[in-house]
Amino acid sequence: SEFKKKALKDPEVRKAYDELETEYAIITQVIGKRLKAGMTQKQLAQKIGTKQSAISRLESGNSNPSINFLEKVARGMGAKVSVSLS
């Protein structure tokens, strides 16, 4: 927490952090919803007709998922995708 505060004072670090904020928020929400639903990555993948590796890539930030894919993932966990611009 203290390290984060110091690091974010650096304009370059702050810019990189801000650019990744949305991605990390999505990842955190997907993992949280999946765990709350008591599902493994493999179970979620089977439910939505994809491979476990696709869920793993999404949760690790190693993919650039489409809105369509995010909606499939959300439906598989009984959730909805909500998008807003502010």
DSSP annotation of 59 reads H
Burial class from Cβ neighbours inside 10 Å (0-12, 13-18, 19+) for residue 63 reads middle
- The dihedral over CA atoms of 71, 73, 77, 81, expressed in degrees to the nearest 10, equals -30
**Contact call for residues 30 and 58 (beta carbons, < 8 A):** yes
41 or 14, greater pLDDT: 41
Q: What is the tens place of the pLDDT at every residue in 22-75?
A: 998 999 999 999 999 999 999 999 999 999 999 999 999 999 999 999 999 999
Residue 79 binned pLDDT confidence (cut-offs 50, 70, 90):
very high
